[in-house]
Amino acid sequence: MKKLLFLMVFILALYSVSVSAAASVGTINDIYLGTTALGTTKESSFTLTNNGDVNLSAIAFTFSKTGFNLGFNKTNFSLSSGASEDINFTITIPALTSTGNVTLGSVNLVSTELNQSPLFSIRADVVGGLIIEDLDVFLTTRPKYQTDGTIRSDNEADTEVNDGSKLDFGPADAGPGSELRFNFNIENTFEDSDDIDIRDATVLVTIEGIDDGEDIDEESEEFDVNSGQSTEADIFISIPLSVADGTYDIAIEVEGDDTNGNTHTATMNLEMAVKKEGRDIIVAEASLFPEKVICGGASTLTATIKNLGTRIEEDTGIGIANSDLGVNYLQKRIELSEEPFDEDNEFTKSITIATDKSTTKSGTYPIIIRSYIQDDVLWETKTVNLAVEQCSDGAAAEAPAGEAVEETNETETVEAVTEETQAATEETQEETTGSIAESVQVPVLKPETTTEIPLTKRAGFWAAVVLANIIVIGGIAYLAVKLYGKKL
């Protein structure tokens, strides 16, 4: 019994020693080589620390990918417990590999006592294959009413755009409702002799956090770039009406696959300032549903005014008017918040616009929506058009100038004809035709007129009747004789 107990204690002691004598090395962060081109060689280093309880021997390193010619200044060496060693290495980027911000591969440790995979990864921004050769950004501001009553947009451009720069549009500022056009020149840097084309490339532009903390992005259609060639791509992005003053980051990424299956990526990062005016009350939305009605029908107009300025507006107003339709709506003393994402930043009104069969004429009616910045100070207007059709007789002829009046074809077919009308006499048809409006002449189809002689007055009629009677009577007599003879 004592021998068994001693053996168990001895085994536990050996196990404790083996556990406490574990082999390990210190953590090594991933290594970033920076920007490098295809076919170039880069140098870097790391420190290997033996933080285990046993010495490491026959230490060597391997790489997870082939073709990179990874070389180390030390190999097949030993490292005592608690010791460190600085290791230098070189790595060559193959001419045929993926580009962009890529992970080239991972370094693995191999030794007699410890194998660790991965030890760390190597990353780099590899340029080449697909690049943004040039970028111009064009700005068109939201159309605004000027003091002379005209509507004008500012059009400016930044043609000196580089990675990391802030867009500069000179005297104009990007603001709510502005439109940006990003004009790219994308180049395939492979030589013609390489015969490496890039297929299905796309450009993605993202303005980060501009939409109440959410991103806005637009992506181009797919395009191809042949070896040694370049192509243009345009991206259009509109800045929301609800936007805060500030500077926003713009991320750009171009990506495509070459004919060898490698992915090529080019990136660019920009900044853009958005500036708002102190006071700006706009007609943000105006719509009709439906946009076209039959005379006597009605449509619903919905209009919204919005505060794009940087201050609270306490006395704004909205007006909706068209004198021909009897529309004259006005509401004042509307308070609008300066916070672009508040519910009180805008005001919406819906009204019903009715037409009258007896007074409304066919045509197009412009309905004007007005925003007022205070009292009777008009700020902006917007117009929507209501089309009215099929009004009373003569109305179409008096339609507003510019509206074509449809001519009536005299051979027009009237489809709604009842069976009773179809069966009526010629006299009734003539009366019905006369009751149709003079502007629509409906042809009445009449049977052709013929002179018909009664059958009883035609030649040979009575002779034929007498002959038929003789034949019938003779036949009856013949049958009677036959029957009577058989009985006798």
- Domain boundary among the residues 229, 255, 274 is at 274
In a domain, 421, yes or no: no
Say if residue 115 is in the same domain as residue 166.
no
pLDDT of res. 152: 83
Q: Rounded to whole angstroms, how far apart are CA atoms 320 and 394?
A: 29
Say if residue 147 is in the same domain as residue 247.
yes
pLDDT of res. 62: 93
CATH number of the structural domain spanning residue 36 = 2.60.40.10
- Domain boundary among the residues 243, 274, 305 is at 274
Q: 3-state DSSP call for residue 358?
A: coil
pLDDT of res. 395: 45
pLDDT of res. 3: 58
pLDDT of res. 214: 96
pLDDT of res. 105: 94
- Tens digit of pLDDT at every position of the chain (488 positions): 555 555 565 555 444 444 446 999 999 999 999 999 888 999 999 999 999 999 999 999 999 998 899 999 999 999 999 999 999 999 999 888 899 889 999 999 999 999 998 999 999 999 888 999 999 999 999 988 776 667 788 899 999 899 999 999 999 999 999 999 999 999 999 988 889 999 999 999 999 999 999 999 999 999 999 999 999 999 999 999 999 999 999 999 999 999 999 999 999 999 999 999 999 999 999 999 999 999 999 999 999 999 999 999 999 999 999 999 999 999 999 999 999 999 999 999 999 999 999 999 999 999 999 999 988 899 999 999 999 999 874 444 344 433 333 333 333 332 333 333 333 334 433 443 333 333 333 333 333 333 444 555 555 655 665 566 667 666 666 666 566 555 44
pLDDT of res. 402: 36
pLDDT of res. 417: 32
Answer whether 0.85 is exceeded by the pTM: no
Q: Rounded to whole angstroms, how far apart are CA atoms 65 and 57?
A: 25
N residues, the chain:
488
DSSP 61: E
Asked if omega into 443 is within 30° of 0 (cis), the reply is no
Cα 397 off chain centre by: 43
CA count, 13 A, side-chain hemisphere, 415: 0
Q: In Å, how far are 100, 457, 458 from 453, measured between CA atoms?
A: 104, 7, 7
User: Which positions ≥6 away from 309 have C-beta within 8 Å?
Assistant: 276, 277, 278, 279, 280, 281, 338
pLDDT of res. 31: 96
Contact criterion met (CB below 8 Å) for 19 and 50: no
Say if residue 184 is in the same domain as residue 302.
no
The dihedral built from the CA positions of residue 19, 23, 26 and 27, taken in this order, carries a sign that is negative
pLDDT of res. 329: 97
pLDDT of res. 141: 95
Domain that holds residue 219: 130-274
Closest CA to 256 of 130, 123, 95, 103: 130
In a domain, 17, yes or no: no
Say if residue 135 is in the same domain as residue 231.
yes
Pairing relationship of beta strands 292-294 and 377-389 according to DSSP bridges: parallel
Number of structural domains found in the chain: 3
∠ at Cα 139 (134, 141), nearest 5°?
175
pLDDT of res. 437: 34
pLDDT of res. 144: 82
Amino acid code (one letter) for 110: V
In a domain, 66, yes or no: yes
Strands of 363-374's sheet in order across: 292-294, 377-389, 363-374, 313-322, 327-336
- The two tokens of residue 175 are 């603001």
User: Residue 185 pairs with which residues in a beta bridge?
Assistant: 134, 232
Q: In Å, how far are 42, 65, 68, 98, 191 from 94, measured between CA atoms?
A: 12, 11, 6, 9, 15
